[in-house]
């Protein structure tokens, strides 16, 4: 008596249907959809490019390396997603204000979170400086108003800000800086206004001492991000806005290695000289949309 016929792969193309069938019983509908699509694209990519065994081994090693290189001070997995444009793609896709045909033009553009946000930054009072310790640089005053989509000021909204130092390092990368330097959380006043002091940030290279740096060098790409401030703006009943404001005139605005710059995110960093000292100011408003107030998982502790 012969054994019943069992479906077995016979050609490279015959493997995918067997994999999709094996995953078809996944109870979570969205997980089933995502994994089927991802697997289909991966198989198509391998067939189209005729990936060799050596290339597959190198790809697996890259994934292992970015995982092993991720720790308390850096997140190479997030950085890899940034350098491939995936982080910016997800941000644009999920924030309709970024789309060229957006109906709600008042809503602020979103940007990628980046690998250096830390939860629970110090709570500050309006007008406080987040430049702690012996942080030297051009003094910068930042102010603006947080609005809802109808243009109504939002009182008591939280404005979480963080940025690199004038030498291009976040405090967790630099032992010379105090813990939580150049980070702070501010509340808007009754008119929706926020105000804080800091020092003007510098552009900086994304970390290049790990596997992501090797990838950039192999692609002959520069690592330098334009100078910017990170913001996370939140209030109950509204979607958390994760965004960045870039310094106008920075030479890397059009070649950001993580593809995070859009025109509305370029701010006007005004500079003047007072009593022989350079001073800078930035005014930037934010417009939130209604939604669930959900915060991201911190890339680093």
Q: Are residues 122 and 38 in the same domain?
A: no
Least confident of 69-73, 82-86, 149-153, 249-253: 69-73
Q: Are residues 187 and 283 in the same domain?
A: yes
Q: Are residues 84 and 220 in the same domain?
A: yes
Q: Are residues 28 and 159 in the same domain?
A: no
Instruction: Give the pLDDT confidence score for residue 274 in this predicted structure.
Output: 86
* 79-103 exposure pattern, b = at least 16 Cβ within 10 A, e = fewer: bbbbbeeebbeebbeebebbeeeee
Across the range 165-171, mean pLDDT stands at 94
* Confidence bin at 96 (pLDDT 50/70/90): confident
Q: How far is CA 99 from CA 12, 52, 104, in A?
A: 39, 38, 10
Flag whether 199 is in a domain: yes
Q: Percent of the chain beyond pLDDT 90?
A: 86
**Within 13 A of 250's CA, how many CA atoms are on the CB side?**
26
Report which of residues 145 and 4 the model is more confident about.
Answer: 145
Distance, CA of 247 to CA of 261 (rounded, Å):
10
For residue 34, pLDDT over 80 is answered with: yes
Distance, CA of 301 to CA of 283 (rounded, Å):
30
How distant is the alpha carbon of residue 90 from its chain centre?
A: 10
Instruction: Give the pLDDT confidence score for residue 4 in this predicted structure.
Output: 52
* Confidence bin at 300 (pLDDT 50/70/90): confident
Flag whether 187 is in a domain: yes
Flag whether 111 is in a domain: yes
For residue 81, pLDDT over 60 is answered with: yes
Flag whether 7 is in a domain: no
In angstroms and rounded to an integer, the radius of gyration of the C-alpha atoms of the chain is 23
> Positive or negative CA dihedral for 109, 113, 117, 123?
positive
- Residue 152 structural domain: 75-287
Model pLDDT for residues 228-241, shown as the tens digit of each residue = 999 999 999 999 99
pTM: 0.88
Instruction: Give the pLDDT confidence score for residue 123 in this predicted structure.
Output: 98
Shortest CA distance to 190 belongs to which of 153, 161, 143?
Answer: 153
CB-CB contact of 196 with 186 (8 Å): yes
Number of domains the chain contains: 2
Which residues contact residue 124 at a Cβ distance below 8 angstroms, ignoring those fewer than 6 apart?
A: 130, 184, 185, 186, 196
Model pLDDT for residues 35-79, shown as the tens digit of each residue = 999 999 999 999 999 999 999 999 999 999 999 999 888 899 999
Instruction: Give the pLDDT confidence score for residue 42 in this predicted structure.
Output: 98
Flag whether 138 is in a domain: yes
Instruction: Give the pLDDT confidence score for residue 95 in this predicted structure.
Output: 86
For residue 185, pLDDT over 90 is answered with: yes
Q: Are residues 45 and 159 in the same domain?
A: no
Flag whether 282 is in a domain: yes
Q: Are residues 213 and 179 in the same domain?
A: yes
* Confidence bin at 301 (pLDDT 50/70/90): confident
DSSP H helices, 106-204, are none
Distance, CA of 76 to CA of 209 (rounded, Å):
10
Which residues in 135-219 belong to E strands, given as ranges?
Answer: 139-147, 158-162, 183-187, 193-199, 204-205
Model pLDDT for residues 140-158, shown as the tens digit of each residue = 999 999 999 899 999 999 9
Q: How far is CA 216 from CA 64, 206, 210, 221, in A?
A: 17, 10, 10, 5
Using DSSP's 3-state secondary structure scheme, residue 198 falls into strand
Q: Are residues 249 and 200 in the same domain?
A: yes
Q: Are residues 184 and 268 in the same domain?
A: yes
Least confident of 151-155, 216-220, 270-274: 270-274
Flag whether 298 is in a domain: no
| CATH number of the domain within which 165 lies | 2.60.130.10
Flag whether 257 is in a domain: yes
């Amino acid at each position: 008596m012969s054994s019943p016929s069992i479906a077995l792969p016979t050609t490279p193309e015959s493997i995918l249907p067997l994999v999709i069938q094996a995953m078809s019983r996944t109870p979570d509908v969205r997980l089933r959809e995502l994994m089927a699509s991802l697997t289909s694209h991966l198989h198509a990519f391998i067939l189209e490019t005729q990936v060799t065994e050596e290339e597959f081994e190198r790809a697996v090693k890259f994934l292992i390396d970015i995982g092993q290189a991720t720790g308390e001070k850096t997140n190479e997995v997030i950085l890899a997603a940034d350098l491939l444009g995936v982080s910016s793609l997800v941000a644009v896709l999920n924030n309709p204000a970024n789309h060229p045909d957006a109906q709600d033009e008042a809503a602020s553009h979103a940007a990628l979170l980046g690998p250096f946000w830390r939860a629970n930054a110090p709570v500050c009072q309006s007008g406080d400086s987040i430049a702690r310790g012996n942080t030297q640089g051009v003094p910068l005053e930042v102010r603006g108003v947080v609005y809802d989509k109808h243009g109504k000021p939002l009182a008591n909204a939280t404005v979480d800000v963080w940025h690199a130092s004038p030498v291009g390092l976040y405090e967790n990368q630099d032992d010379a800086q105090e813990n939580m330097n150049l980070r702070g959380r501010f509340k808007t006043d009754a008119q929706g206004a926020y105000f804080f002091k800091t020092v003007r940030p510098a552009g900086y290279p994304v970390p290049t001492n790990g596997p992501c740096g090797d990838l950039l060098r192999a692609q002959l790409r520069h690592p330098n991000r334009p100078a910017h401030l990170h913001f996370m703006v939140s209030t109950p009943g509204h979607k958390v806005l994760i965004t960045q404001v870039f310094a106008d005139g920075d030479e890397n605005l059009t070649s950001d290695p993580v593809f995070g710059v859009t025109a509305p995110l370029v701010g006007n960093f005004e500079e003047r000289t007072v009593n022989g000292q350079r001073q800078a100011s930035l005014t930037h408003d934010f417009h939130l949309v209604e939604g669930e107030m959900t915060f991201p998982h911190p890339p680093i502790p």
